[in-house]
Amino acid sequence: MQSSESPETVSDKLKFYRCKNGYLQSEIADYINVDRTTYIRYEENVLSVYPIDKITLLAKLYKVEVCDLLDDYNKFLYNDQGKQIKKLRKRLSLTQLKMAELLNVGHSTLKQWEYNKANMTQENYLKIKSYLD
């Protein structure tokens, strides 16, 4: 973990808040209804996307906002990735086809992202991150 004052990854944040609140991994796993080994994976920085229903339960338990537990990529997904992608695409004056070409993905993939039918990959999120602000 970077620093107990400013954890950056979702994994670090989950571990930070669990420890701060004095919970065992097994207790958290039971609370969010996953087995302990699954929860351990949450804290081992194995996942890139975290189940929002589980994160929402943890935010409620820790009395924090959901976004306090998320990294930039998961915030992007949580805050309506489709709307953000479409807004960016329009701001750049790109068609779906042109933006798909720019990201080196299929047109149908981009459409799925815009309609929130599939999550944009973290790799592609990093490609467009600088344009989002």
Non-local (6+) Cβ contacts of 49 within 8 A are 73, 74, 77, 119, 122
pLDDT per residue, tens digit, the chain (133 aa), is 444 467 899 999 999 999 999 999 999 999 999 999 999 999 998 999 999 999 999 999 999 999 999 999 999 999 999 999 999 999 999 999 999 999 999 999 999 999 999 999 999 999 999 888 6
* Global pTM value: 0.85
* Structural domains for the chain: 10-75 (1.10.260.40), 80-132 (1.10.260.40)
Q: Which residue has the tokens 């958290």?
A: 28
- Angle (nearest 5°) at CA 129 between 127 and 117: 80
